[in-house]
Structure 1
């Protein structure tokens, strides 16, 4: 009996040292991050396991507590990063590598989350039906001249909530509500689908413009099944009347429970490396956060833009108010 107990004790002691894997809860679609994870495993030998968690990530981690198998969370929006931090399910990470690779403005001051890629939320405009310079600001989208010409995904979508949060930060809740009502009044149809679907709707002549993330257009232009539709639109980088183009990030954070902390840190640091940032740029057409890493040729061809100077944490702080506005005006109704 004593021999058996001793053997079990030795085994339990050895397991952590042998664990060469990272468990990930991801808001990002698995196919978007798999090329990165495959490259990481090929380079390090560390296996990755991904669970796609579309909603309720913070609640899930809270419910699992110390028993959670998750080491890292990958998210698609600053507000979701803020949510997991505020839920108390994340631990700070001190890393010279992360600090060197990721600009201070794109990581948490308390080292609880780190931006991995950036994306601009822009206007997709019909090449045939929208003239150059016809839309220049986000505020323009509420102008009655666009009545019946705008397509949109749900107003409750994280990306649209983040944009409305930025409108609130710039102009206050009252003006932001009026703006959202103006955009709703200009819709050509009821909000439906994702950003890609809005491009397809423009190609089909259902509307002339829509709002979407830059990388979706890049992905469609490199997809033989979608390139024709994507070719009917051009990217327009609007600005706020008192600012720049709205930028958001994807990011990573380490869970408080992280059973494979050492391997998880290696993955976090690797995702900020030149190799990973290049994969993000070339495969997903996202903007690298590490200075010096080139954009994909396609994205670089869209030209330069001035990112809005608002701190992302400030934008995230208006999420609740933005969500309330979208529900009050029944944007999706």
Structure 2
């Protein structure tokens, strides 16, 4: 039955938050079960795909799984590193006012390691994270190319009619590529938040931003009750504000590319680079730079301020932009 996008959005948000908060509650009982956090991150994508099919009979491809342009992927991968550099420069500009302990370069305090590769410290650890980014996102690229060039469809056309179902073996092989890297949590979030919710409101980007700037931080609420975050009120407030402000940048990438892949690459790059350079706002552990991590971190005070400025610029742009017809309106549920 056709329904309004406001109702669709409400159902998506309600189910997503209830399921993710439930998984978050289970994780809080034993924070060593990291798999629960990865499952939690996948919830928006699963719920978004289910809602898209239930309400409008949309296939998963409607979220934007095809390869776009290489520049989109490159910009998405590079933005977090540029953002971290801006925050470091700003933090050092404030250092004369806030004291030498506010931020200082401590590469010896940073260590990253991978099985079989051993530990890396300092700039070597940052290099390891930068190498890890294309390695993890390689399966995403292959899936994007498969959708773009119709590999599954072409395989079915090349097979005899009686065994054309074997074409799904191609899809299975592509899915198997994700296994060594675990659950693709960043992709799961982007399929839901951007590929479903932002897409529903793409003709009204300010409405989309208003929803996401509240709902996305709410999605992260279980983190606030973790052992390292519990009781740090000011830190938690700025953490939520920074996430809410970042919704505009992620939305802008989706509206620019019309694909979830650059958004997922951006999300993954951020999760790798931010704690490596600016420290871990969850645990307080230093990155390449130590000091008041929760202040100068991308998910801290300075992050909220800088991303807030970016958000204001995007809001001004979206207000001045002429309305466009939403992509999903091109076909009604009854026509699918």
Report if TM-score (shorter chain) is over 0.5.
no
Return the TM-score normalized by structure 2.
0.25
- Structure (1/2) with the larger helix percentage: 2
- Structure (1/2) with the larger strand percentage: 1
